[in-house]
């Protein structure tokens, strides 16, 4: 005799299963603080393997760069030879301006060592994995909750802002880069006259063309706002995630909106995300 199948029972079971999955997805989104001991164990087991593979890959890539990018290296070499000639000529002139140059360097370094960042504890971390899935631009760092890292802690490189921590395991943490469309940053553009214009920096990378290193951040402004190419973009400190005055990038291009009311500033990040190997996690979330 054939077993009778209770279709209503199956439908109710499937419905509640789907409902619980959807609730779980909603509750465990980006930056949520839910305990994940199994994930933590997985990360701690797999992170040494990931680190070794990534290191090996980087070494192979660096050592075989000349083979894969022969034409590129040749062009780069010719350009560098021209530059050497030009730099030799400019050397005398530069010696005269050395004092002014020193002052500029002092100012440039001062931008990163700002008072808002100094008061937080920072922890150095190495990149052990990149973009675990194609859907997000993320980095996995080898510091986790054991080192005091918490979700929403900002991640900063030697030159400027990288992103924020979105999930943490005991030994690793995942950082969402500012290049990702989901990682918006409240920012201000500092003009050459010192004036500041506030706005939101957003990653404008299209999924599929994300590896283009140029102009992958953008900001919207009113037409009359005083923003020009070359202006420095810094974090505004609003929103509670990123500290104030951390450099983000430089405005490289301004485009007017077809309506004429708005303009878009394209920003080149100061950090080269493609070759990033180390970063600082600023403990703002847990260590305030």
Q: Which is nearer to other proteins, 162 or 168 (CB)?
A: 168
Is residue 152 close enough to count as binding other proteins by CB under 8 A? Answer: no
Among 24, 69, 228, 272, binds other proteins (CB under 8 A): 24
Q: Is 145 in the site for other proteins (CB under 8 A)?
A: no
Q: Which of 130, 244, 250, 268 binds other proteins (CB under 8 A)?
A: 130
Structural contact between residues 156 and 118, judged by C-beta atoms closer than 8 angstroms: no
Of residues 125, 162, 168, 219, which one binds other proteins by CB under 8 A? Answer: 168
Q: How far is CA 28 from the centre of its chain?
A: 22
Strand-pair category, 185-190 with 154-156 = unpaired
- Taking the complex as a whole, the smallest distance from the CB of residue 191 to other proteins amounts, in Å, to 30
The residue with tokens 């900001």 is 219
Segment lying near other proteins (by CB under 8 A), choices 3-11, 85-93, 134-142, 219-227: 134-142
Site for other proteins in 30-49 (CB under 8 A): 30, 32, 34, 36, 38-39, 42-43, 46, 49
Phi, psi of 260 (to 5 degrees): 85, 0
DSSP helix/strand/coil, 16? helix
Applying CB under 8 A, does 264 fall inside the site for other proteins? no
Query: How far apart are the C-alpha atoms of 227 and 192, rounded to whole Å?
Result: 9
The two tokens of residue 25 are 């997805």
Q: Helix, strand or coil for residue 89?
A: helix
Query: Which of 65, 119, 206, 223 touches other proteins by CB under 8 A?
Result: 206
């Amino acid at each position: 005799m054939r077993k009778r199948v209770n279709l209503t029972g199956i439908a109710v079971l499937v419905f509640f299963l789907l409902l619980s999955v959807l609730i779980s997805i909603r509750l465990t989104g980006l930056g949520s603080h839910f305990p994940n001991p199994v994930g933590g164990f997985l990360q701690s087991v797999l992170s040494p393997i990931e680190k070794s593979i990534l290191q090996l890959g980087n070494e192979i890539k660096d050592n075989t760069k000349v083979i894969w990018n022969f034409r590129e290296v040749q062009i780069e070499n010719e350009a560098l030879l021209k530059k050497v000639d030009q730099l030799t000529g400019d050397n005398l002139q530069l010696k005269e301006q050395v004092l002014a140059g020193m002052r500029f360097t002092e100012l440039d370094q001062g931008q990163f060592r700002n008072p808002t960042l100094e008061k937080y504890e920072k922890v150095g971390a190495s990149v052990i994995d990149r973009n675990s899935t194609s859907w997000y631009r993320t980095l996995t760092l080898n510091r986790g909750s054991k080192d005091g890292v918490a979700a929403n802690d900002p991640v900063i490189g030697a030159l400027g802002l990288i992103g924020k921590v979105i999930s943490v395991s005991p030994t690793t943490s995942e950082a969402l880069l500012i290049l990702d469309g989901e990682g918006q940053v409240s920012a201000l553009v500092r003009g050459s006259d010192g004036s500041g214009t506030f706005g939101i920096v957003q990653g404008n990378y299209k999924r599929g063309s994300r590896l283009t290193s140029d102009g992958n951040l953008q900001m919207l402004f009113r037409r009359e706002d005083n923003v020009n190419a070359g202006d420095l973009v810094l974090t505004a400190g609003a929103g509670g995630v990123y500290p104030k005055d951390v450099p983000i990038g430089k405005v490289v291009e301004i485009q007017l909106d077809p309506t004429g009311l708005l303009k878009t500033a394209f920003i080149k990040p100061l950090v080269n995300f493609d070759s990033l190997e180390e970063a600082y996690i600023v403990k703002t979330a847990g260590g305030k």
